[in-house]
Amino acid sequence: MTAEYQVHGDVAVITLNNPPVNGLGLDTRRGIVDGLERAQADAAVKAIVVTGAGGAFSGGADIKEFGTEKSLQEPNLHSVISAVENCAKPVVAAIHGVCMGGGLELALGCHYRIAAPGCSVALPEVKLGLLPGAGGTQRLPRVVGVEAALNMIVSGEPVKSEFIGAVPGQKLFDRMAASPESLPEEALAFARSVAEARPLPLVRNLPCKHPEGDAYFQFARNMVKGMAKNFPAPAKCVDAVEAATRRKFADGLQYERELFINLMWTPESRALRHLFFAERAASKIPDVPSDTPKRDIKKVGVIGAGTMGGGISMNFLNAGIPVTILEMKQEALDRGIATIRKNYEAQVKKGKLKEDKYQQRMALLSTTLSYDDLKDCDLIIEAVFEELGVKEAVFRQLDQVAKPGAILASNTSTLDVDRIAAFTRRPQDVVGMHFFSPANVMKLLEVVRGKATAKDVLATVMAIAKKIRKTAVVSGVCDGFIGNRMIERYSQQAGFLLDEGCTPSQVDKAIERFGFAMGPFRMGDLAGNDIGWAIRKRRYVEKPDMKYSKTADLLCEMGRFGQKTGAGWYDYAPGKRDAIPSPMVEKMVEEHRKALGIAPRKISDEEIVQRLVYSLVNEGAKILEEGIASKAGDIDMVYLTGYGFPIHRGGPMHYASEVGLFNVVQAMKRFARNPLDDARAWEPAPLLARLAAEGKAFA
Ligand code: 3HC
Ligand code: NAI
């Protein structure tokens, strides 16, 4: 059992021991109940301490068990907490490290609680699309007050134990230990001090009221409405806490349980749970063990102070790592540094960054025009023009000056990392680090693994990505890597939709209603339509038989590159970013349609969404099959963190699995029969076809 039982004189100690965070899985739940029974049967035992081994009291219910047989087996968490409450001897929770979700609910069922400082206390279920389902919504308001409890439950954010412990009148902790180290001894002493106390105090018996009742809960509902867009859980959290103030405890508990079970079956919760595991799995590379030694990164060099170089540098400065930026000319350096300053100053102005922190960060930044100044850098990231010849000159020079063992990274978005690596005599030290614009804001980092990239280089880059708070996903070498390779298919479909009868705003609105942050045409205007134009020009040569709508080329021929030229698919008022549908563009689309002899048809939102999303899915399946991505979850992470795919849909691959791959393939076959579409693009990837035939999902 993953809970240990020991007796220390007259106190029994039940220690949850289910690494990594003492999740309350079936074995652990059984262990707790077993420990309670042994303690009650032993006359020498006067009190019981429940605590956690390692760095956590408990991270809550074992999320891996959700949806499995084990989660249904008794004792469930309710039964465990009930066993604790009904224990004839005092039960003291000794809390440290992490006390979250079901862990906090277990602690709230104990008769007493002693906490070490520094412990993260939370009911984070809402982040999994759930609400606390083992009494958290009923007990927490009784000990910290309705408003503080609702705040914790709806935000899911952790609060430090010493902070709650210091609030006068709160009854969450009966005692604060001096330190995590002294907690075990202090918990034993506390348990002895309450050994004879009777009746035993129960949180469930405390009153639960809010002085402004109706008005407060109405206010709370209005508050969560905005933030809960697309997610049902926050509003249910309000309902459950309100029930704590209005119903008898047992009724409230029952109500909470019903809400919890209903939420567990929602696609939104499944998406968030998928995201939780996919995010953690993305940082693991199948053939790179987690104990692979990492190289020390104490100083970073960045080549190019343009759009990307500046943002990339800020990431490291924010993490306290010194950066030297190299440029060709002083003017370019001055421009780049001015942009970095402007970005930081905007944060200071908004109160998001303190002036002294800003100055500390700038003090870590140095500039140079000479490669000699990069020789002590441990990691050098190139962000110069996207031309192989320019990259070659840079990497040949780096090879001359960089110290042995320095990691040489390229931020290229389309070029072959293996060819770049071949410009050096150390291809094992070369890797792609594909940041997304604005690089200081966007979470995604595609780590491009070359043929020769050493495992310790990958391990180091993944670790440094975590340090600079990026979600790193490994991609193999291919044109566009994971994200841009897929987006090309999506853009191709967006173009066909215009040819067949849509306007840009109709397409954008449909996919934005599905939940995307921005539709393809608004996105094109933001990123610059000339980027896609350059790629298509290359494709017309490389793949002359590939089908594209010509409308995007016609748009670019009109000089409408997007926001940067004040006009793109949409019109823009000077200095504004609001997309205004453009009569001129709509006319251009119509005329092009006429020239092609196409009679426009009315296209439903459903068809728009399916064609855009399934085009991503099919290319994603190919990427998976070719081993460019090692897991479907990695592809989802790329889309969720880099391309504005709706979080509540869980990413393209998860969403396709939710729809059912059989249905996805059926729709693709239907689209392939459309003579105006590209039938070859809709040919299901063999992996997709196989999984659909076997009735399986992407793992
Ligand atoms: N169940 C199972 N595994 C869990 C877990 C949980 N509740 N919480 C974390 N883990 C696992 C992670 O999957 C990861 O596993 P891996 O090493 O195999 O990838 C490992 O623990 C470490 O997790 P992190 O990488 O997140 O480590 P951190 O130290 O950064 O964070 C944490 C630790 C703060 C506990 C964070 O993992 C977390 O927030 N966990 C989720 C906690 C949570 O949501 N609890 C509520 C569960 S639902 C519930 O209790 C229902 C109840 O109300 C009925
Ligand atoms: P940019 O044109 O804004 O900046 C490039 C900078 O590199 C310029 O300041 C230029 O003076 C400098 N430079 C050029 N040659 C140099 C050399 N030999 N030595 C030193 N400095 C040199 O370009 P941007 O947008 O920052 O792109 C840089 C790289 O990042 C490209 O490879 C691009 O494909 C990639 N990228 C760009 C993204 C974007 O959205 N802009 C997103 C992801 C990657």
Residue 689 lies in a domain: yes
Sign of dihedral through CA atoms 94, 98, 103, 107?
positive
- CATH code (residue 97): 3.90.226.10
Which residue segment(s) compose the domain that 369 sits in?
A: 300-475
pLDDT in tens, 443-452: 999 999 999 9
Does position 453 have pLDDT exceeding 80, yes or no?
Answer: yes
Query: Do 15 and 35 contact (CB within 8 A), yes or no?
Result: no
Does position 76 have pLDDT exceeding 90, yes or no?
Answer: yes
- Does residue 661 sit in the same domain as residue 587? yes
Residue 274 lies in a domain: no
Residue where the block lists tokens 């009221």:
209
Percentage of residues of the chain with pLDDT beyond 70: 100
Number of H helices, E strands in the chain: 29, 19
Work out the pLDDT band at 67, boundaries 50, 70, 90: confident
Q: For residue 56, which atom of ligand 1 is closest to its CA? A: 35
Does position 602 have pLDDT exceeding 80, yes or no?
Answer: yes
User: Which residues, including other chains, have CB under 8 Å from residue 23's CB and lie 6 or more apart?
Assistant: 58, 59, 60, 61, 62, 63, 64, 65
pLDDT in tens, 168-191: 888 899 999 999 999 999 999 999
* Gap between the Cα atoms of 492 and 677, Å rounded: 9
Work out the pLDDT band at 684, boundaries 50, 70, 90: very high
- CATH code (residue 304): 3.40.50.720
* Gap between the Cα atoms of 672 and 622, Å rounded: 17
Nearest CA to ligand 1 atom 16: 280
- Does residue 596 sit in the same domain as residue 455? no
Q: What is the pLDDT of residue 420?
A: 98
Write down the H helix ranges in 67-115. Answer: 69-72, 77-85, 102-109
- Does residue 450 sit in the same domain as residue 530? no
- Residue 460 Cα to ligand 2 midpoint, Å, equals 24
- Does residue 419 sit in the same domain as residue 519? no
- Does residue 339 sit in the same domain as residue 191? no
Does position 1 have pLDDT exceeding 80, yes or no?
Answer: no
Mean pLDDT of the region 527-554: 92
Ligand 2 binding pocket includes 315 (Cβ within 6 Å): no
- Does residue 241 sit in the same domain as residue 379? no
* Gap between the Cα atoms of 157 and 167, Å rounded: 17
Give which of 645, 670, 649 is closest to 659, Cα–Cα.
649
pLDDT in tens, 381-419: 999 999 999 999 999 999 999 999 999 999 999 899 999
Mean pLDDT of the region 230-249: 97
Which region holds residue 566: left if phi is over 0, alpha if psi is between -120 and 50, else beta? Answer: left
Mean pLDDT of the region 598-610: 98
Residue 293 lies in a domain: no
Mean pLDDT of the region 318-336: 98
Residue 323 lies in a domain: yes
pTM over 0.90: yes
Work out the pLDDT band at 454, boundaries 50, 70, 90: very high
The ipTM assigned to this model is 0.96
Work out the pLDDT band at 516, boundaries 50, 70, 90: very high
Does position 317 have pLDDT exceeding 80, yes or no?
Answer: yes
How many Cβ atoms from other residues are within 10 Å of residue 581's Cβ?
A: 15
Residue 561 lies in a domain: yes
Q: Which of 437, 458, 475 is the last residue of a domain?
A: 475
- Does residue 489 sit in the same domain as residue 468? no
Does position 429 have pLDDT exceeding 90, yes or no?
Answer: yes
Q: What is the enclosing helix (H) or strand (E) of 293? A: none
Q: Which of 385, 390, 434, 561 to mutate to test the pocket of ligand 2 (most atoms within 8 A of CB)?
A: 385
pLDDT in tens, 265-313: 999 999 999 999 999 999 999 999 999 999 999 999 999 999 999 999 9
Mean pLDDT of the region 430-451: 97
pLDDT in tens, 115-147: 999 999 999 999 999 999 999 999 999 999 999
- Residue 124 Cα to ligand 1 midpoint, Å, equals 10
Q: Which of 236, 264, 292 is the last residue of a domain?
A: 264
Q: Please report which ligand is nearest the Cα atom of 308.
A: 2
Q: What is the pLDDT of residue 228?
A: 79
Give the chain's domain count.
3
Does position 658 have pLDDT exceeding 90, yes or no?
Answer: yes
Q: Which of 326, 340, 384 to mutate to test the pocket of ligand 2 (most atoms within 8 A of CB)?
A: 384
- CATH code (residue 560): 1.10.1040.50
* Gap between the Cα atoms of 90 and 36, Å rounded: 10
Q: Which of 63, 125, 279 to mutate to test the pocket of ligand 1 (most atoms within 8 A of CB)?
A: 63
* Gap between the Cα atoms of 320 and 122, Å rounded: 29
Ligand 2 binding pocket includes 630 (Cβ within 6 Å): no
Residue where the block lists tokens 């990123």:
527
Residue 285 lies in a domain: no
* Gap between the Cα atoms of 94 and 653, Å rounded: 42
Residue 245 lies in a domain: yes
Q: Which of 429, 453, 475 is the last residue of a domain?
A: 475
- Does residue 17 sit in the same domain as residue 142? yes
Work out the pLDDT band at 640, boundaries 50, 70, 90: very high
> What type of residue sits at position 202?
L
Q: For residue 527, which atom of ligand 2 is closest to its CA? A: 40
- Does residue 453 sit in the same domain as residue 592? no
- Residue 635 Cα to ligand 1 midpoint, Å, equals 22
* Gap between the Cα atoms of 131 and 60, Å rounded: 12
- Does residue 335 sit in the same domain as residue 250? no
- Residue 65 Cα to ligand 1 midpoint, Å, equals 12
Q: Please report which ligand is nearest the Cα atom of 157.
A: 1
Q: What is the pLDDT of residue 308?
A: 95
Does position 45 have pLDDT exceeding 80, yes or no?
Answer: yes
Q: For residue 329, which atom of ligand 2 is closest to its CA? A: 11
Q: What's the token pair of residue 146? A: 């309705």
Task: Annotate 531-554 with b (16+ C-beta within 10 A) or e (fewer).
Answer: bbbebbeeeeeeeeeeebbebbbe
- Does residue 241 sit in the same domain as residue 357? no
Q: What is the pLDDT of residue 98?
A: 98
Work out the pLDDT band at 463, boundaries 50, 70, 90: very high
Mean of all residue pLDDT scores within the chain = 97
* Gap between the Cα atoms of 318 and 358, Å rounded: 9
Residue 96 lies in a domain: yes
Residue where the block lists tokens 């009190």:
47
* Gap between the Cα atoms of 147 and 217, Å rounded: 10
CA neighbours closer than 13 Å in the CB half-sphere of residue 88: 9
- Does residue 564 sit in the same domain as residue 500? yes
Q: What is the pLDDT of residue 213?
A: 84
Annotated catalytic sites, by residue?
105, 125
Q: What is the pLDDT of residue 543?
A: 87
Q: What is the pLDDT of residue 544?
A: 87
